[in-house]
Amino acid sequence: MSYIKEPNIFKPLEKIIQIAEKKIGHKMLPARLLLWTPKAFFSSMILEGLIAHKQGEVSPRLLKLIRMQVSLLIACPFCIDMNSSNYSKFRITSEEIKGMQGRLALSKIKTFNERERMTLYFIRGLVRTPIRQNPKVVKRMTHLFNEKEYATIVTTIGQVAYWTRIIQGFGIPPAGFLEQCDLF
């Protein structure tokens, strides 16, 4: 149960949300609650629509790892549930999940390639408060990724962090994307 109730939704917007929910297969309470502030709703939908889901050289697996790592670090149950769904389709192992949870050193996990490992270290610096990036990690990131890839990674981290704050602020519980979850 979220902290506030859903607003009455203008019919055309209800249809848009229903289409999204049908595609995702779950009720999208974050979008529904954002309708209390229509400008926030529309700007959030534009952000969501324009940020990378499939972007050039940044692999779908790396985008999934980014979404999972940010969700885990910020400890957003809904976000962990949604962003970790279907993780096995991306060949993400239980050992890698332990690494993202901080229960196992990333350096010990041989299935992460250098780009993935460096990105996970980068996320850890960028998501913490206050932000403290390790200059060596940033330098390595700029060598491993071209400018477009780097920008895609940074904006994806920002997108997930944005949603985690909105979702946590509304008190939205997990929606049941994961059939079973040992990630919390």
| Helix segments in the chain, DSSP class H | 11-24, 29-34, 38-50, 60-74, 77-84, 94-101, 114-127, 135-144, 147-170
Is residue 100 assigned to a domain? yes
- Note whether 70 and 135 are same-domain residues: yes
Q: For residue 20, give its domain range.
A: 11-50
- Note whether 90 and 108 are same-domain residues: yes
pTM of the model: 0.90
Is residue 109 assigned to a domain? yes
- Note whether 75 and 121 are same-domain residues: yes
Report d(CA 182, CA 13) in Å as an integer.
Answer: 35
Helix axes 135-144, 147-170, angle to 10 degrees: 120
- Per-residue pLDDT of the chain (184 residues), as tens digits, is 899 999 998 888 888 888 888 988 888 899 999 999 989 999 998 888 877 666 667 999 999 999 999 999 999 999 999 999 889 999 999 999 999 999 999 999 999 999 999 999 999 999 988 899 999 999 999 999 999 999 999 999 999 999 999 999 999 998 888 766 555 5
Q: Look up residue 6 and give its amino acid.
A: E
Per-residue b or e along 108-146, where b marks 16 or more CB atoms closer than 10 Å to that residue's CB: ebeebeebbbbbbbbbbebbeeeeeeeeebbebbeebbe
| Cβ pair 116, 65 in contact under 8 A | yes
Is residue 129 assigned to a domain? yes
- Note whether 72 and 34 are same-domain residues: no
